[in-house]
Amino acid sequence: MALFVLGDTHLSLGSAKPMDVFGGAWIGYVEKLKKGFQVVRAEDTVVLCGDLSWGMSLKEAEPDFALLNELPGKKIFVKGNHDYWWETVSKMTRFFEERGFSTFSLLHNNCFFYRDVALCGTRGWFLDEEKAGHNEKVMRREMIRLETSLKMAGSREKFCFLHYPPIYQGYACHGILELLERYQVKRCCYGHLHGHSMRLAVEGMHGETEFSLISADHLGFVPKKILD
């Protein structure tokens, strides 16, 4: 078995938002994704860190789920800011079961154990201190979800999976970084950054945590192995 991670597949098989229009690495990205998953075996696990499908509902995203389900490995979904299809866990689980999408799990107010490592996470958030109200409420909610996940991990070694980067050049989300430090998270993987913004990514050690940008275009649409 091996553990992989990838973010931001931005599939659009059931909607009219193909990423090919952005050119560059996104040209032919669906075929690149299929080829990239050749490094994954059926017994492996892949954490997918959000922005999986442009579908506006579970039904519209169904063709994208069908493709992901056909790819090798078990998949653990983290919510992204463009995953408008995201519903309650019970609704999504029922939808997946009814359609035979048997390789999916949801990382949402919970955690998963991979050998001796706890897989924790949530979507995360950008906190703009110049804005008030909803922005702060969303950040507090995301921090509660992340801490819930980290607490469920107990004393195990912890890996954290987010969609939004908790840190990049010129920005730090101190609330989430404090949780990563307090719960001694060994590794944090995040997506969301694309194109020129990938130059702002913080990778490598920051404090006691190793950070990795795992957006699909950053990784060439090949899942990144992070644990054997």
Question: How far apart are the C-alpha atoms of 132 and 29, rounded to whole Å?
Answer: 38
Query: Given a cut of 90, is residue 17 above it in pLDDT?
Result: no
Question: How far apart are the C-alpha atoms of 23 and 133, rounded to whole Å?
Answer: 37
Under DSSP, the state recorded for 59 is: H
Q: Are 81 and 53 in contact (CB under 8 A)?
A: no
Long-range contacts of range 133-141, CB-CB < 8 Å, 24 or more positions apart? Answer: 139/173, 139/175
In the structure, what pLDDT confidence band is assigned to residue 16 with cuts at 50, 70 and 90?
A: confident
| Both structure tokens of 224 | 């990144």
Q: What is the pLDDT of residues 96-126, one digit of tens each?
A: 999 999 999 999 999 999 999 999 999 999 8
DSSP 33-54: HHHHGGG--TT-EEEEES--B-
Q: Are 77 and 105 in contact (CB under 8 A)?
A: yes
Strand partners, 227: 3
Element (H, E) at 60: helix 58-70
Look at residue 135 in the predicted model and tell me its pLDDT.
Answer: 83
Question: How far apart are the C-alpha atoms of 192 and 198, rounded to whole Å?
Answer: 9
Question: How far apart are the C-alpha atoms of 35 and 148, rounded to whole Å?
Answer: 36
Burial (CB count <10 Å: 0-12, 13-18, 19+), residue 151: exposed
Residue 91: CATH number of its domain = 3.60.21.10
Look at residue 129 in the predicted model and tell me its pLDDT.
Answer: 53
Domain range for 55 is 3-227
Question: How far apart are the C-alpha atoms of 206 and 116, rounded to whole Å?
Answer: 23
Q: What is the pLDDT of residues 139-198, one digit of tens each?
A: 999 999 999 999 999 999 999 999 999 999 988 999 999 999 999 999 999 999 999 999
Look at residue 144 in the predicted model and tell me its pLDDT.
Answer: 97
Look at the chain and report how many structural domains it folds into. 1
| Both structure tokens of 157 | 């070694």
Express as a percent the part of the chain with pLDDT over 70.
96
In the structure, what pLDDT confidence band is assigned to residue 128 with cuts at 50, 70 and 90?
A: low
Look at residue 84 in the predicted model and tell me its pLDDT.
Answer: 97
Which residues are CB-contacts of 16 (< 8 A; sequence separation ≥ 6)? Answer: none
What are phi and psi for residue 98, nearest 5 degrees? -65, -30
What average pLDDT does this structure show over 5-21?
Answer: 92
SS (H, E, C) 198-222: HHHECCEEECCEEEEECECCCCCCC
What average pLDDT does this structure show over 200-224?
Answer: 97
Query: Given a cut of 80, is residue 209 above it in pLDDT?
Result: yes
pTM: 0.96
Query: Given a cut of 80, is residue 131 above it in pLDDT?
Result: no
